[in-house]
Structure 1
Amino acid sequence: MTLPDRVCVGAIAGAFGVQGEVRLKSFCAEPEDIVDYAPLYTEDGSRSFDVTLSRPLKNGLGVHLSGVETKEQADALRGVTLWTERENLPSLPDDEFYHADLIGLEVVDTGGAKLGTVRAVHNHGAGDFLEIFAPGRKQALLLPFTKAAVPTVDLAAGRIVADPPEDL
């Protein structure tokens, strides 16, 4: 179980080379910034790593993680997500949000009717979408995370006010 004060900032895609280097997928807006958020932890917090950037790679970064010295050790970490303490992350402007802060928020329409709960945030290259789950609904609602479709995000109240397009 992850602690609420930790945020997922990357994932290990596997070994790179034979010296224990790993290919890292960074979830940061500026991928190289991930090294500034070290130490990075496994999701369960059982291991922590200092991170040293070695080179940019196609679809990722080549990094050395402390304590990982062989290709076999690096391969064993494939798929492991890396987390940092929330306090290590920069503060965001009022109109920007960490995905982790949106997941679990209640979503209501402009009339106050409950639409569901944010289960995930996706980005397939054309902007963010909120995946909203509602009991009794066969499919999740995918709502564009734009100012027009989501005029209000109130983290303190734990809710989002949405104005979904008519065709949703």
Structure 2
Amino acid sequence: MTSDLICIGAIAGAFGVSGEVRLKSFCSEPSDIVAYGPLLSEDGQRRFEITLTRPVAGGLGARIKGVTSKEAADALRGTSLFVARDKLPKLPDDEFYHADLIGLAAYDTGGELLGKVVAIHNHGAGDIIEISSLRHKSALLLPFTLAVVPNVDLAAGRLIVDPPEETE
């Protein structure tokens, strides 16, 4: 468990001229982003009270309390939105928050250290796990599936990876 705050979305920029923003939600149900109450900046110092307005291309339209102009909305572009970990639902044993996977040691099925999980990406076709590699010049990018990552042990701070032949 890496942090008390978990990123659940980001402000992608202004939408329109009256301060509405475009939100990217990282929740499994995108509209759930507002269910956690005010969201926080990464340092926890700023609070964002958000009301969804409508679906928009690439995200959700939303209003943020106190943001009333396009310029103010544009100034928030790129701001990540966080919620306290204890507000998130408990997950089943076979599901994980991305934040909990970052930093885990990655071992192959023979017990050899491959590297460390540095990021989880999702471009629409499923999660991709990025592992800094001790064997390769570049990071390993692998599908985060049961076949490729058969074991995740958060308590031990490690996961087992069975990379496809062409990545070894």
- Residues in 2 aligned to 1:17 and 1:71: alpha-carbon distance in whole angstroms: 7
Tell me, which stretches of 5 or more residues in structure 1 are unaligned? none
Distance apart, 1:69 and its partner CA: 1.9
- Residues in 2 aligned to 1:142 and 1:71: alpha-carbon distance in whole angstroms: 38
- Residues in 1 aligned to 2:122 and 2:72: alpha-carbon distance in whole angstroms: 31
Higher mean C-alpha displacement, 130-139 vs 140-149: 130-139
Contact 2:106–2:161 (CA under 8 A) maintained in structure 1: yes
Tell me, which stretches of 5 or more residues in structure 2 are unaligned? none
Give 2:78's aligned amino acid. G
Q: How does 1:1-168 map to 2 (within 5 A)?
A: 4-135=3-134, 137-168=136-167
Structure 2 length-normalised TM: 0.93
Q: How many residues align?
A: 166
State, as a whole percentage, how many aligned pairs show the same letter.
Answer: 64
SS at match of 2:119: strand
SS at match of 2:165: coil
SS at match of 1:72: helix
- Residues in 1 aligned to 2:37 and 2:116: alpha-carbon distance in whole angstroms: 31
SS at match of 1:36: helix
- Residues in 2 aligned to 1:54 and 1:77: alpha-carbon distance in whole angstroms: 17
SS at match of 2:115: strand
Give 2:83's aligned amino acid. T
Structure 1 length-normalised TM: 0.93
TM-align CA RMSD: 1.4
Give 2:42's aligned amino acid. E
Distance apart, 1:136 and its partner CA: 6.2
SS at match of 1:167: helix
